[in-house]
Chain A
Amino acid sequence: MQITDAIILWLVGFIVTLGFAVLFNVPKKALMSVSVIGAFGLLLRGVMKADGVILELATLCGSLFIGLAGFWQARRINTPRLVFTITGIIAMVPGVPAYEMLLYFRNYDVLQGMQSGFKVALITGAIAGGLSLARALTELEWRTVEEHADD
């Protein structure tokens, strides 16, 4: 990966995250940090992928980064963490494979469709795994399943 590719990828991540942050009604004070965090997460994933790391692991690391950075910013700006995490990972969500799967199925190309479907499942799982890992590292209540009060 060349440095220009990296800069373009960062800018793409920034613009995509900013755009979706606006669509998700993110408060104005959090807009900039959300976009920067999302951009660096996408860049981390892109750089690792370019170096030959499998996409799912790269995605996990990217979303782990977003989860941790989101935690830090959430404490700084005093905003719930989901504003940073759910919006930050949006540039990594596998949108094209998801509807591609259905288009392939429509063309009776079941094999390709299944491939796209598993891609979606694995990448989404990796994103959620990274976010959950970041939470488990930083929040007490996420280490255990809540005990339901019974009487």
Chain B
Amino acid sequence: MNLYHNSENSNMDRFSKSFPVTGLIDALMLLLAWAYLHITHSLTVQKDAFMLIATIISVFAYLCLLYARNIWSSHIVFTIYAITLTLRSLLLCLPMMINQPINIWLFSFFIPIILIQLIMTPEKTKGGYAFIAIIICFLIFFHPNFLTASHTLWKPQIAQMIYVFTLLTQAGVFLGAYVQDPNPSFIRIPSGAQPAVTGKTLTSGEMALALGLTMRVGRMMLESGAASFRTEQAMQRVAAALGVGRMETYLTPNGIVGSAYSGQEHRTQVARISRLSVAMNRVTALENYTHHLAPDTHPEEIRQFLSNLEGEGAAYSKMVYVFAAGTACGALAVVLGGGIWEIIAAGVGAGISQMLRIKLTEMRMNPFLLTTLCSSLATAVCLLLVVVIHPVHPKAAIAASVLFLVPGVPLVTSIVDLSRLDILPGVNRGMLALMLFIGIAIGMLVILGLTGYNLF
């Protein structure tokens, strides 16, 4: 069962409806870009010609399809439109492919643009279009001029201008579809059980059971590192499936307050969260399960599922985690300027420290203390290896060896929460990340202070 499935026919109908506006904006934007560059004499003759052809193709395709959309089937119209867009992108890339340098800006942005177009494209035409897009990406990426581009022919500001126009064009395509149709096909509509409309009211006991299960789902998701809004949505889905009329939740990373309302009754529970980890497999399982919950699911069924999930062990064996931490930190040492010996020093330090981290996590140690201890061990092992093998850039190795402890998930989730106006969870997670960073720094400072090694 596909979670994000949209009906193919309605997709095409929507496209047919929204096409006049999107196509017009698309063509006009390109025309505007060409006119600007032509009037200001910013292009060489050859590039001017390429851009003009691209513009003409866009306008022509728009006019043709405007006429033909009532005669041909929507599939054909869409395919032609997609091919036109591709052809246009190709034409704008062509100056580079015939061995002329060009500013890299433009091409860096073609990849996201192609992806946007890919997402918009309905399933049936996606294969062919994706193939063309991948070939274009391939040609751009492996072209000898790609990485040694000079700014001689396209002045940087002109390339920026074209980029802005191209991006605006794509925004116009989006906007056009959005103006015409509030639910365009490329935007995913939230799925899952909707709040109960059966009018059934739960008894006090049933509500306590339903609320307890809902809180348990929320707790498990937050413990696995899910963002607040995602947890809230999952809890709403579970509550709806259990027949709760209305569910209000207030989430912080270390506690949930939830109230269930049904008829005249209401109940409130508070759940405390103490464990903090990142377990994507658990989030995935819970998300998929709650998306597919049928209305009026029996509570026992959900309880059984949650118990099974809690009983499941880690996704990988311990040695895999150790190896993963080692290789990741080794690779990061390369970014910081290290060579093979730095990779080995950082990797071994991180790997041994990860072993300690697994042990301490099993003992349920306080996360700040755990981070400090692991950071100390990683630094110590790495420093020992650095002293023994004398690599060229010892600082790169030491700096990389503790990077597997960096709380990247709380750091980014914090900003995501803040941008959703979930201020309290956002600030909470931000402070958590800061505390963990302080833990890493203290762990390093202890070892560096004891040995007298100066990192700077």
Name 27 interchain pairs, CB-CB below 8 A, sorted by A: A2-B148, A6-B147, A11-B331, A12-B335, A18-B324, A21-B280, A22-B316, A22-B320, A23-B278, A25-B280, A25-B282, A25-B315, A27-B281, A68-B119, A79-B288, A86-B408, A96-B336, A96-B399, A98-B406, A99-B402, A99-B444, A102-B438, A102-B440, A103-B441, A107-B456, A127-B415, A132-B419
Residues of B within 8 A of A102 (CB): 437-438, 440-441
Q: Determine the residue in chain B with the shortest Cβ distance to A83.
A: B280
A139: which of B111, B187, B279, B327 is its contact (CB, 8 Å)? Answer: B187
Of all chain A residues, the one with the shortest Cβ separation from B357 is A23
How far, in whole Å, are A107 and B444 apart by their CA atoms in the complex?
Answer: 13
Secondary structure class of chain B's binding surface, majority of residues: helix
Knowing that A61-B108, A96-B403, A131-B416 are A-B contacts, what are 16 other residue pairs whose CB atoms are under 8 Å apart, sorted by A's residue number?
A: A12-B335, A16-B332, A19-B325, A19-B328, A21-B280, A27-B281, A51-B105, A53-B105, A61-B109, A65-B111, A68-B115, A72-B118, A83-B280, A99-B437, A109-B456, A124-B412
Give the shortest distance, in Å, between B247 (CB) and chain A (any CB).
10
- Does B287 lie within 8 Å of A80, measured CB to CB? yes
Chain B residues within an 8 Å CB radius of A16: 328, 331-332
Query: Does B280 lie within 8 Å of A51, measured CB to CB?
Result: no
B406 touches A95 (CB 8 A): yes
In A48-82, the 8 Å CB interface with B consists of 48, 50-51, 53, 61, 64-65, 68-69, 71-72, 75, 78-80, 82
CB atoms of B119 and A71 under 8 A apart: yes
A90 to chain B, nearest CB (A): 5
Is the CB–CB distance between B406 and A86 below 8 Å?
Answer: no
B75 at the binding interface (Cβ < 8 Å):
no
Q: Tell me the nearest residue of chain A to B6, going by C-beta.
A: A75
Measured in the bound complex, the distance between the Cα atoms of B189 and A95 in whole Å is: 36
Given contacts A15-B327, A26-B281, A83-B283, are A128 and B320 in contact (CB under 8 A)? no
Residue A138, interface by CB 8 Å: yes
Kindly provide the distance from the CB of B260 to the nearest chain A CB, expressed in whole angstroms: 13
For B190, the chain A residues whose CB sits under 8 A away are 140-141
Query: A residues bordering B, Cβ < 8 Å?
Result: 1-3, 5-6, 8-9, 11-12, 15-16, 18-28, 30, 40, 44, 47-48, 50-51, 53, 61, 64-65, 68-69, 71-72, 75, 78-80, 82-83, 86-87, 89-91, 93, 95-96, 98-104, 106-107, 109, 124-125, 127-129, 131-132, 137-141, 145, 149
Cα distance A80–B105 in the bound complex, in angstroms: 31
User: Judging by beta carbons under 8 Å apart, are A128 and B315 in contact?
Assistant: no
Q: Is the CB of A95 within 8 A of B408?
A: yes
- A127 and B187 within 8 A (CB): no
List residues of chain A with CB within 8 A of the CB of B411: 93, 98, 124
Specify which chain B residues have a CB less than 8 angstroms from the CB of A107 in the assembled complex.
Answer: 456
Q: Which of A78, A95, A128 counts the most chain B CB atoms within 10 A?
A: A95
Among residues of B, the one whose C-beta sits closest to the C-beta of A136 is B419
A101 contact set on B, CB distance < 8 A: 437
Q: CA of A19 to CA of B420 in the docked complex: distance in angstroms? A: 29
Complex interface: chain A residues within 8 A of B279 (CB): 24-25
Q: In the complex, A138→B112 CA distance in Å?
A: 13
User: Are A12 and B283 touching (Cβ within 8 A)?
Assistant: no
Q: Contact between A103 and B445 (Cβ–Cβ < 8 Å)?
A: yes
- B residues near A51, Cβ cutoff 8 Å: 104-105, 108, 149
Interface residue tally for chain B (C-beta within 8 Å): 81
Determine whether the beta carbon of A138 is less than 8 Å from that of B287.
Answer: no
A38→B331 CA distance, assembly (Å): 14
Tell me how far the C-beta of B456 lies from the nearest C-beta in chain A, rounded to whole angstroms.
7
- Using A25-B279, A72-B119 as known contacts, say yes or no to A86 and B413 having CB atoms under 8 A apart: yes
Check B115 against A69 for contact (C-beta < 8 Å). Answer: yes
The interface residues of chain B lying within 8 Å CB-to-CB of A8 are 334
The minimal Cβ–Cβ distance linking A5 to chain B, given in whole angstroms, is 8
Considering only CB atoms, which chain B residue lies closest to A17 in the complex? Answer: B328
Which residues of chain A have C-beta atoms less than 8 A from B445's C-beta?
103, 106
Closest to B409 in A: A86
B147 close to A3 (CB less than 8 A):
yes
In the complex, what residues of A have CB within 8 A of residue B393's CB?
none
B4 x A131 contact (CB < 8 A): no
Q: Given A26-B280, A140-B189, A128 and B328 touching (CB < 8 A)?
A: no
B112 touches which one: A30, A64, A99 (CB < 8 A)? A64
Q: Cβ of B327 and Cβ of A80 under 8 Å apart? A: no
What residues of B have a CB within 8 angstroms of the CB of A28 in the complex?
Answer: 315
- Centre residue among A5, A9, A69, A102 by max chain B CB count within 10 A: A102
In the bound complex, how far is the Cα of B283 from the Cα of A86, in angstroms? 12
B331 touches A140 (CB 8 A): no
Q: Chain A residues with Cβ under 8 A from B412's Cβ? A: 86, 89, 93, 124, 127-128, 131
Residues from 143 to 185 in B contacting A, C-beta threshold 8 Å = 144, 147-149, 174, 183
A contact residues around B408 at 8 Å (CB): 20, 86, 89-90, 93, 95
Q: Which residues of A contact B321 (CB under 8 A)?
A: 22-23
> B455 — which chain A residues lie within 8 A by C-beta?
103
Report if B284 contacts A (CB, 8 A).
yes
A1-B324 contact in complex given A95-B408, A102-B441, C-beta closer than 8 Å:
no
Does B81 reach chain A (CB closer than 8 Å)?
A: no
Q: Does A82 contact B188, Cβ atoms closer than 8 Å?
A: no
A138 and B413 CA atoms in complex are apart in Å by: 19
Using CB atoms, name the residue of chain B closest to A23: B324
Which residues of A have CB within 8 Å of B2?
A: 78
Q: Tell whether B227 is near chain A: CB-to-CB under 8 Å.
A: yes
Contact B328 A79 (CB under 8 A): no
